[in-house]
Amino acid sequence: MVTLLAAPAEPLTNAGDTQLVLAALLGIAAVVLLIAWGKVHPFLALILGAAVLGVVAAVPVDKIVTSFSGGVGSTVGGVGLLIALGAMIGGLLAESGGADGIVERVVGRVSGTALPWAMAGVAALIGLPLFFEVGVVLLVPIVLLVSLRVNVPLIKIGIPALAGLSVLHGLVPPHPGPLVAIDALGANLGQTLALGLLVAIPTVIIAGPVFGNFIARYVPATAPAELLPTRRDADDRSPTRPGDGRLDADGDLVTEDDLVNPGTGRPGGAIDEPAGRRSRRAPALWAAVVTVLLPVVLMLLRAIGELTLGEGTTGRKALDIVGTPIIALLAGVIFAMIFLGYRSGFSRTQVSGFLGGSLPPIAGILLIVAAGGGFKQVLVDAGVGDLVANAADGANLSPLLLGWLVAVGIRVATGSATVATITAAGIVAPLADTLAAPEVALLALAIGCGSLFFSHVNDAGFWLVKEYFGLTVGQTIKSWSVMETIISVVGFLGVLLLDVFI
């Protein structure tokens, strides 16, 4: 696992404790105000917040730049590759229809009363490799159709689906938030993954089917007609989605998502080869499931090997290699290319286009994560992290509680789970040195739980859910915002319970 640059032996400033606290508060306040009030992109807000923090803490300007740049570089090196590989897996699942196959197969085999539980399980499975927004886009059309066809309240099956996606997004790597916390704290990824899954299961159940059954009585909602997915015949050449109406050689609508044709290098060009129609078939269900689970299984096997096999043994060395996050995710990408791409009738050019098209949407995430890593490094290098650690030690405050509370505060203020995770991890990072490996993993999970607390109007996910489900702002707060709060609290209680037994 790649870790962030270690804090220097001596802080970059001789500022006193009061000045450091003021610097941290003003730096964080600058980020919050720029995002929430100034509507500045979080990438720029984090850069400016780091500058405010450094200046107030009397850190020389050149050292602010050096510290920030070091944090950006090490964060991209440790987290950026994993985010990119995870996005590629998600892109192939979406474009090949593999994700749709998982959803339709499970939902088609359960009764109406079991649908909320099925949707929660499917969302959790889909949520392993997909970003929350991608998972919503994939699942919501199915949720809307199921609600319409079997006459089940939309919120009753929608909340379980959202809970499954949100819990996995906040607690389980390879999602950006958990990866950032793991990287900043030096936690073991395999242990965090295993413990995260243990916390995720009861959290999804309580925040999903249980809460969904309750809140559906108070939030009536019907599927927006304009969002219901429709199918067209294979020979129908008329576009049915927004776009410019151009069709490729296979009769598929060409959109701006088809960014670059590897054969022509022309932006906006179709990714399909100019040859005639290719024979395509839906990928096998087992191929889609294996694509989702392969990276997770490989990383879990590495964690098991670390606990059961002696260091230096052949088996341990093999598991250490295949369970390395980059190798595990790369294996998932290659498997998906073969079994969801080539074996399903897509050409090499098309598969390459799917992979390339999955990267631009994560550019913003990578920039925010990178800038957050720089902000965190300035916090640490200025000595703020050590100051907080000493204060927590003197107050006998649990590191888990401190991490959760800091993440909650930043989440509510900024609306960004990623910013909350990055900031909280940077502040409590020095405490990780005093904890055993399993407790460090639990600290990463506690921060992840706090980063999901009470999504409201300053969170893009709030508006995404509101528009997809056709809710009012009040209804969205009653359902989505309360669900996120339940996830945060129940997940944190699960972390505390595991801490008792570990």
* Of the listed ranges 198-202, 420-424, 488-492, the one predicted with least confidence: 420-424
* Of the listed ranges 89-103, 192-206, 264-278, 466-480, the one predicted with least confidence: 264-278
Residue 487's nearest CA partner among 445, 458, 457 is: 445
More confident residue, 409 or 273: 409
pLDDT at 409 over 80: yes
More confident residue, 411 or 211: 211
Per-residue pLDDT tens over the stretch 24-74: 889 888 888 888 788 888 889 889 999 999 999 999 999 999 999 998 887
What pLDDT is recorded for position 497?
Answer: 96
pLDDT at 403 over 50: yes
The answer to whether 193 touches 10, Cβ cutoff 8 Å, is no
Q: Predicted confidence band at 260 (pLDDT cuts at 50, 70, 90)?
A: very low
The answer to whether 40 touches 410, Cβ cutoff 8 Å, is no
Q: How far apart are CA 185 and CA 179, in angstroms?
A: 10
Q: Predicted confidence band at 251 (pLDDT cuts at 50, 70, 90)?
A: very low
Residue 281, SS3? coil
pLDDT at 214 over 90: yes
More confident residue, 257 or 146: 146
Residue that the structure tokens 């990276």 belong to: 295
Residue 147's nearest CA partner among 156, 136, 159 is: 156
More confident residue, 414 or 304: 304
- As a whole-number percent, the residues of the chain with pLDDT over 90 amount to 27
The answer to whether 165 touches 137, Cβ cutoff 8 Å, is no
> b vs e for 138-156, b when ≥16 Cβ sit within 10 Å of the residue's Cβ?
bbbbbbbbbbeeeebbbbb
Residue 180's nearest CA partner among 435, 425, 492, 487 is: 425
Residue 50's nearest CA partner among 12, 79, 78 is: 12
What pLDDT is recorded for position 234?
Answer: 36
Residue 247, SS3? strand
Mean pLDDT of the chain: 80
Mean predicted confidence (pLDDT) in 194-198: 93
Residue 219, SS3? coil
pLDDT at 209 over 70: yes
Q: Got the DSSP string for 131-170?
A: -HHHHHHHHHHHHHHHHHHHT--HHHHHHHHHHHHHHHHH
More confident residue, 123 or 228: 123
Write out the two tokens for 430: 């020095």
Residue 139's nearest CA partner among 261, 229, 53, 225 is: 229
Per-residue pLDDT tens over the stretch 276-320: 445 567 788 899 888 888 887 887 788 788 768 888 889 899 998
Which H or E element spans position 20?
Answer: helix 17-36
Q: Which amino acid is at 406?
A: V
CB atoms near residue 396 (< 10 Å): 6
More confident residue, 200 or 85: 200
- For residue 265, count CB atoms less than 10 angstroms from its CB and return exposed for 0-12, middle for 13-18, buried for 19 or more: exposed
What pLDDT is recorded for position 270?
Answer: 41
What pLDDT is recorded for position 330?
Answer: 92
**Residue 267 backbone dihedrals phi, psi, to 5 degrees:** -55, 135
The answer for 282, left when phi > 0, alpha when psi is -120 to 50, beta otherwise, is beta
CB atoms near residue 71 (< 10 Å): 28
The answer for 66, left when phi > 0, alpha when psi is -120 to 50, beta otherwise, is alpha
Q: How far apart are CA 93 and CA 102, in angstroms?
A: 10
Q: How far apart are CA 246 and CA 257, in angstroms?
A: 13
Cβ-Cβ contacts under 8 Å for 478 (sequence gap 6 or more): 215, 218, 219
